[in-house]
Structure 1
Amino acid sequence: MKYTNGDIRRLGETIVKNNGIISDDELDLLQDYRKSYTEPLSATFNQLVEIKNSVGRDGIIAFRLKRIRTIINKVLRNPSMQLNRMGDIAGIRLILENQNQIYKALKLIETEFEISGKIRDYIKDPKRIGYKGIHVYVKDKQFGKRIEIQIRTRDFHNWSTLVEITDLLYGTRLKELGYENNPKFGEFHALMSSDLELSKVQANQVYELLHETNFISKLSQTFRRNNEKVKKQWHEVLPRSKYFLIESSTSEIPSLTGFVDYDKAEEAYFKTYKDDPEALIVLTAIQKPTFDQISVAYANYILSYHTFIKDIEPIIKTLAIEALEQGKIYRFKKIFKTYEELEANGILHIWTGKADIFVTRQKNRLLLSSPDKISSRKQKLIRKEIHSDLQLRIANHHKFISDIKPLIDGESIKSWICRSFLKRNGKRIKNRLKELEIEFKN
């Protein structure tokens, strides 16, 4: 379909005028405009792969065209903005290990590309909700298209995907609208993004929101539901797949499909959108993709694990000890139950965290299987890794309990209640671990 910049500008005006409702012909025009970024995006991506490799070979790099629904929503939020001037229709995300690598990558980008517009450094000046990263716009040499590059550390990226998971699980729009969309969740994410140690008041604020919204349970249930099935979908994609269509949902297992051909992947994306404009679906490409990489890059779509489960544990432990020090037994028990849930997830992840191993449970047995035959040597290695990880987790748990014991050694009724409570907890954990017999199923 042939079109001019004026056609695209008028399409944006129509979107605003009709409150986001557009005809089939207008939708086709919007899709053609999106796809016009494909070639310049791919060329820019290939250049950035070289920069990534020179700065941090272990980094993750992925690209995507902005989702149709997100484009429409952005036009509605910014009615004075011309659609043909929207700068982030094509985007590349570069996830590196640390801030030093980020600024090295930025210098190379400034050297090798024509920079278009202001570089936004949200590391030096984070958004109110806590977002950190660098956004730089470059202009493609051949087509003159503007491409957005986002550079983040893994920690910054993990925080960002947690915001998007919150949006999905609770129907918020924090990513689009920021802190003001939901100040309670906004403050929670702002605190979780902080490099500073949380004060007692802030730590309590975090816990109260987790408790009030049942956040840990909701997250855990979603991850447990998805892990094995999404992993199996990954192993069913074509070996040479470079493009991935991921559709997520609060109630269904995420859908992951691989494509060798980009045009076919775009056709599948567009068909899915037309069938359900509200579908949460993304089409992406990842350099040398692995399940671990796609799980990190799109944790908010894959929904099978998030580092938040591990990151929140020290805060919960500190709050539990503080509750005991203040003699608040009911509060201690409530917080400790949250810790138990985190602990259960941590133990489960020891088995499920391996990308090439599927885990199913039959009564008191865990059955471990793989798309490829598991040799005796590999079985032995897996058992050794699981045992080592499990021993470390048990040691950390014992250290936590040893920190608690001096606080409940007295003869008071409160001390007795706490000791009884912890004894029952200890039995539950011991029985849970005893029951989990590992069996390999080839």
Structure 2
Amino acid sequence: MRTIVRRTAVVVAALLPLAACGPSDAGDKTKLTIATFGEFGYAPLIAEYEKLHPDITVQNRVADFDTHHKGLATQLATGHGAADVVAIEEQYIPRYRKAKDKFVDLAAYGARDLEKQWAPWKWAQGTDGSFVLGLGTDMGSLALCYRRDLFAAAGLPTDRDAVAKLMPDWDSYAATAEAFTRKTPGVKFADSAGTVYTAMLNQSPENYFAAADDSFIADRNPSVRTAFYLSGGIAAKGQTAAATTFTQDWNVAIKQGSFATVACPAWMLSQIKEAGGDANKGKWDVTTVPGSSGNQGGSFLTVPKQSEHPKEAYELARWLTAPEQQKKLFLSDGILPSEPSVYADPQVVAHTDPYFGDAPIGRIFAASADKLRPNYRGLRDADVRPEFGRALGRIEDKTETVDQAWAEAVQQARALLK
């Protein structure tokens, strides 16, 4: 879910319970644990599930993104400590499909009967064709969040349809950044080069690795180079706030109105609201993202073999990812369903958000979801991707040119793969 930016592992043993956290029977109740990164909005759903299943109690273990995924790697390697239901973010799914011997095949409990529930590309991410690793939670189809007041100050259109026409692609986005900066030099156009880069990259069918054979292609994939040079070019011109998403600097920049645009999946809206507070209500709006839709975020609920109650764990995962629950999560928390029957639901499509000027977020994100196509994530994607993000950071802090940063990112990625 909310693809919170994140890093790697060793101290997990001190941070997470090492005693097998598979469920134990507490009196007459079966105890299940579910481990997520960040808040998935599950607290009220878990309370509801416990009422529907009085013989079951559910504990939700929440950690930050890096601790969670590093902890899972340690737990699987040592054979203990994993929760009964574990959320895995999409960038790690290819790696864990290769480690399927550590997980329960959910097909054994009837998961294949649910296949039509999800968008085909989402279902495909969670299976290798026969083995079903996980059930899909949300997805991160993109929109563009922008500050109406800052656009007005720069003499740009503020109506969301007019803004969409102004920036139908990323070249026009870069051109608009130039026009914006000339009129409002004290405000940055984008939050960070990394956000622009990621949005562009996620609109490509392949990123760092080839879908055919998982070979490293970043240095010869035009989509990667184009995204890097456009976002790096914006950064080199000082048009980004160098505020990385999910950092305190980003929260402060949102609150202070330091930048005017951010490519935003649905789950990011709650982050903007929380950081911006009441003082910024009505200043933000939402429109379609430049280019085609891309996916930024989304997770799967899996059941490690360590679970003492795999059937009950599967039933919990199935219930949490059912259409009824995905709809509740969107209406309450803006977490976009990965199931077409839900994001096409009239109540979801009609949903608006007063914080964003009553933007029709249900319609915008549903349309984006319909256009979304999967992009291939290689087995080493989670290792390579951060190198390019760090390279963009070096452009933003003026320690490297775009050419230098690109060359170093490619070199570091290749060194990692050796």
TM-score interval for Structure 1 and Structure 2 normalised by the shorter chain:
under 0.3
More helix per residue: 1
When normalised by structure 2's length, the TM-score is: 0.25
Higher-Rg member (1/2): 1
When normalised by structure 1's length, the TM-score is: 0.24
